[in-house]
């Protein structure tokens, strides 16, 4: 059943305009004309320079660093589209910032992921399209539909092309929390699963101290949803090399690499390659291979606009 919206419009803020262009190219439409700028005092300003009345509007904006700026841009874009009488407003958030603040793990702290969900809904978002949320239950923070895609099909296609999989490979979860995701990759690659137990010393320092599983003489793939400082994956890679791993690669959905993360990847001798997607513009640097999810997002947008199912996009 086709959605009752006359036209498709894709707009973007300043977070990742290149990804928006790739999505538009894959769909075969022109990116919408919008001015998204900043006043001298730091306030964001948005103006949509074309008619969106009654249109199915998709706003492409990962809330990556600087997270607060990009989140505020997105909220203002939503308000501008709503006041321009858009038929439906879809927030395309390939990387959902604040997702790690999804529970109270200390006294007197907020659940910021829920707050962001409330802000988006209050601003006027009708639907959210996201990729590999840090915690799948964040979907439940929204009182509007959420289409939660996975980067696994894109990453697995590349990994299989590199010859990874089978008895000579091992998928490793760099912490206990990532076991479910890593197990899915291990099943898809038909290889064993191992786990590294870690201890977080600070926000930027991680100690990997125990390996559960056998990696000696194997090609190892560390799987995680995101990396920022590369502390977790480099600590895990060092331990895996000590345990006799033949080679170590890492695959993450979101390479939100800052200066420290790129420095660690450049200096480490344990990781041959970090494979990530272009969900954020920071996914670049030494030893980094960036795969595009523009095609995946484009197909999802086309199906959402047409009122079709997106379930088959989850297949790996």
What's the CATH fold of domain 8-150+294-314?
Rossmann fold (3.40.50)
Helix axes 179-189, 152-161, angle to 10 degrees: 40
Question: Would you say the CATH fold of 152-291 matches that of 8-150+294-314?
Answer: yes
Measured CA to CA, the distance from residue 183 to residue 186 in angstroms comes to 5
pLDDT on residue 1: 44
Name which CATH class applies to 152-291. Answer: alpha beta
| 35 burial via Cβ count (<10 Å: 0-12, 13-18, 19+) | exposed
Q: How far is CA 286 from the centre of its chain?
A: 20
- Residue 154's alpha-carbon distances to 43, 131, 144, 157, 193, in angstroms, are 37, 12, 27, 5, 20
Please give the structure tokens belonging to residue 140.
């439940």
Report the pLDDT value the prediction gives residue 5, as an integer from 0 to 100. 64
Active site residues: 198
Helices 231-242 and 259-267, axial angle in degrees (round to 10): 20
Low-confidence ranges of the chain (pLDDT < 50): 1-2
205-212 long-range contacts, Cβ below 8 Å, gap at least 24?
205/231, 206/231, 206/232, 206/235, 207/235, 208/174, 208/232, 208/235, 208/236, 208/238, 208/239, 209/239, 211/239, 211/240, 211/243
d(CA 147, CA 58): 13
Q: Residue ranges per domain, the chain? A: 8-150+294-314, 152-291
pTM, entire model? 0.93
Cα pseudo-dihedral 174, 271, 189, 289, rounded to 10: 110
Task: Give the tens place of pLDDT for each residue, 201-249.
Answer: 666 666 666 889 999 999 999 999 999 999 889 989 999 999 999 999 9
């Amino acid at each position: 059943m086709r959605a009752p919206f006359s036209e498709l419009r894709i707009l973007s803020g300043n977070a990742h305009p290149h990804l928006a262009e790739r999505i538009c190219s894959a769909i075969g439409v022109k990116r919408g004309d919008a001015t998204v700028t900043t006043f001298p005092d730091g306030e964001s300003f948005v103006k949509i320079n074309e008619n969106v009345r009654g249109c199915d509007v998709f706003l492409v904006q990962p809330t990556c660093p600087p997270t607060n700026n990009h989140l505020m841009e997105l909220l203002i874009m939503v308000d501008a589209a709503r006041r321009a009488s858009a038929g439906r407003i879809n927030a395309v958030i390939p990387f959902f910032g604040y997702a790690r603040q999804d529970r109270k793990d200390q006294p007197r702290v907020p659940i910021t992921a829920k707050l962001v969900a409330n802000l988006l809904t209050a601003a006027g978002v009708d639907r959210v399209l996201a990729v590999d949320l840090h915690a799948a239950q964040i979907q439940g923070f929204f009182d509007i539909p959420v289409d939660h895609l996975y980067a696994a099909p894109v990453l697995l296609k590349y990994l299989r092309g590199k010859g990874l999989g089978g008895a000579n490979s091992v998928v490793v979860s760099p912490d206990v929390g990532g076991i479910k995701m890593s197990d899915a990759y291990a099943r898809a690659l038909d290889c064993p699963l191992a786990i590294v137990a870690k201890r977080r010393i600070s926000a930027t320092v991680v100690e990997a101290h125990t390996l559960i599983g056998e990696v000696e003489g194997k090609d190892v793939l560390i799987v995680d949803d995101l990396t920022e400082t590369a502390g977790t994956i480099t600590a895990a890679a060092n331990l895996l090399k000590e345990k006799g791993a033949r080679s170590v690669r890492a695959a993450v959905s979101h390479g939100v690499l800052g200066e420290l993360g790129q420095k660690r990847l450049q200096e480490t001798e344990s990781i041959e390659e970090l494979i990530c997607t272009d969900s954020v513009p920071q996914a670049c640097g030494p030893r980094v291979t960036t795969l595009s999810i523009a095609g995946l997002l484009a197909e999802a947008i086309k199906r959402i606009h047409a009122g079709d199912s997106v379930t088959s996009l989850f297949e790996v």
